[in-house]
Structure 1
Amino acid sequence: MSSSTADRGEQAEAAATKPPMRDALVAAAFQLFLERGYEETTVDDIVALAGVGRRSFFRYFPSKLDVVFPDHERCLADMTEFLAASDPGDEPVRRVCDAARLVLRMYAENPTFSVQRYRLTKQVPGLRTYELSVVWRYERALADYLRDRFARRRDGTLRADVIAAAVVAAHNNALRSWLRADGRSDADAAVDHALGLVQSAFGTPAGQPVDEGPEDVVVVVSRRGAPLWRVVQEIETTLATDVRR
């Protein structure tokens, strides 16, 4: 084998083992964040360490802030797709709990990175604000699914929003406990326990049909020939009495 052939083989092997540019940018950014601090690190610093140009950075990330959360958009899309693929017979509370586990899986894929991001986010108010906006988007995705499932209930919107908030709160409580333990504890067990509380409080027990509530039907008996305003008044009175119950 000639030396040039060997060189080409080594170059090909090096290219194959080199991380994709997006991953390289994230790795470079966090190395600098840990060494210098988030505020002190610029995009120019990141691209210089990664060995790419500024244009390459902005091809993947709109801003320096977005490089801290490179996987949330994908996870949110996966969650939305998971909920959209639900069957009518799926128990809705169990379904949103399973959707929340997709977020845990994302964090657990790289515990070291997740712990580093958790510590960094605690130190930088701007990152914490961004993270809260991401959490809100997860909650809205869960609530939108539940609102559709509970559309026939009179309290469907309220029920959907309360359950979505409970799922996010339970999941995040367990997730943060895992992150504070440096990713060494059993994240699955902690999240299962937390989401189990939500399931027991709001879900339908296994084996029972999913009851999404009957449609509101109001029957009013009025004498023949009664004026329309009288019929409307009787309907309003019936509805008001039912709400008070």
Structure 2
Amino acid sequence: MSSSSTAPRRGGKAEAAAAKPPIRDALVAAAFRLFLERGYEQTTVDDIVALAGVGRRSFFRYFPSKEDVVFPDHERCLADMTAFLAASSDGDEPVRRVCDAARLVLGMYAENPAFSVQRYRLTKQVPGLRAYELSVVWRYERALAEYLRGRFAGRRDGTLEADVIAAAVVAAHNNALRSWLRSDGEGDAGATVDHALGYVQAAFGHAEAEPGGRRSGAGAGASARTAADDVVVVAARRGTPLWRVVREVETALGPSGAARD
């Protein structure tokens, strides 16, 4: 007796339905196929729904605009980041916490490197998408800054400090992310982002605040390495220019520009 005669039969409408991608995924796939074939500006929502085999109303159920289909996961990621920050405890070091929150964004990109690279190339070509992306980045930065403002409440210049650190985290993360995307998603994205965020933590994450918003330590330029884990600590007086703090961090890290593993 052949194996085909003993195997249970599968197929039909139930299997076809199970194999069919969800509508949201089908819309994203159809959109990017058309963007590559025709160009972003030449592709309409009607074109996308026709290729996906759904109605126009279905598109707007998932995406408010054509721009949103290019960035389908950012709303979810922003919600995850906000929840992650909200779950922080008083014992969490705030700068480390926002750096870890930024890594959630990296995880979203690293889930599908091919799609992320494709979107990066498309965004570079379309000015409207670049502007849209900047608005998304701003929302991430605001989420980080709001968390830090809460943690730095009562400090002199606490709001300023929160905004500067949030901007630094986003800048470091995006610098590393774009470097990875420019390499077509090759290499270890996590290590690249960790290296970039390490600069932020070295500059802002190790000086404990004293009552009244002052930070402990000597003036700008005071630095030390712990023997146990080779961590660089740089302390600076309030009001020290950021460029000077960064220069001291780079000097303390040594010629390689990074702490030894």
TM-score computed with the length of structure 1 as normaliser: 0.82
Greater relative CO, 1 or 2 (CA 8 Å, sep 6+): 1
Q: Give a deviation string over 1:185-222, Cα, whole Å, max 9, x none.
A: 210010000000100110027xxxxx344247xxxxxx
Q: Give a deviation string over 1:41-60, Cα, whole Å, max 9, x none.
A: 00110001000010111110
Amino acid at match of 2:100: D
Amino acid at match of 1:214: P
Q: 2:101 aligns with which of 94, 99, 102?
A: 99
Q: Give a deviation string over 1:218-243, Cα, whole Å, max 9, x none.
A: xxxxxxxxxxxxxxxxxxxxxxxxx9
Q: 2:41 aligns with which of 24, 39, 42?
A: 39
List aligned pairs for 1:133-212, cutoff 5 A.
133-204=135-206, 211-212=208-209
What is the Cα deviation at residue 152 of structure 1? 1.9
CA–CA distance in structure 2, aligned partners of residues 212 and 72 of structure 1: 34
Query: Match for residue 125 of structure 2?
Result: 123
CA–CA distance in structure 1, aligned partners of residues 31 and 127 of structure 2: 18
Q: 1:10 aligns with which of 12, 21, 30?
A: 12
2:83 is equivalent to residue 86 of structure 1 = no
Amino acid at match of 2:155: R
TM-score computed with the length of structure 2 as normaliser: 0.77
Q: 2:23 aligns with which of 21, 24, 29?
A: 21
CA–CA distance in structure 2, aligned partners of residues 121 and 213 of structure 1: 45
CA–CA distance in structure 2, aligned partners of residues 82 and 100 of structure 1: 10
Judging by fraction of residues, say which structure has more helix.
1
Other structure's SS at 1:16 match: helix
Does the CA contact (< 8 Å) of 1:47 and 1:57 recur in 2? yes
Does the CA contact (< 8 Å) of 1:107 and 1:114 recur in 2? yes
Q: CA RMSD, aligned part only?
A: 1.8
Structure 1 stretches of 4+ with a deviation exceeding 2 A read none
Other structure's SS at 1:151 match: coil
Does the CA contact (< 8 Å) of 1:149 and 1:212 recur in 2? no
Does the CA contact (< 8 Å) of 1:150 and 1:213 recur in 2? no
Q: 2:62 aligns with which of 60, 63, 66?
A: 60
Amino acid at match of 1:154: R
Which consecutive unaligned segments of at least 5 residues does structure 1 have?
A: 206-210, 217-242
What is the identity percentage for the equivalent residue pairs of Structure 1 and Structure 2?
A: 83
| Number of residue pairs aligned between Structure 1 and Structure 2 | 208
Which consecutive unaligned segments of at least 5 residues does structure 2 have?
A: 1-7, 214-237, 240-261
Does the CA contact (< 8 Å) of 1:178 and 1:185 recur in 2? yes
Q: Give a deviation string over 1:92-121, Cα, whole Å, max 9, x none.
A: 000000000000000000111100100000
Does the CA contact (< 8 Å) of 1:152 and 1:212 recur in 2? no
CA–CA distance in structure 2, aligned partners of residues 117 and 90 of structure 1: 34
What is the Cα deviation at residue 17 of structure 1? 1.7
- Computing the radius of gyration from Cα coordinates, the structure with the larger value is 1
Q: 2:211 aligns with which of 214, 217, 222?
A: 214
CA–CA distance in structure 2, aligned partners of residues 52 and 212 of structure 1: 56
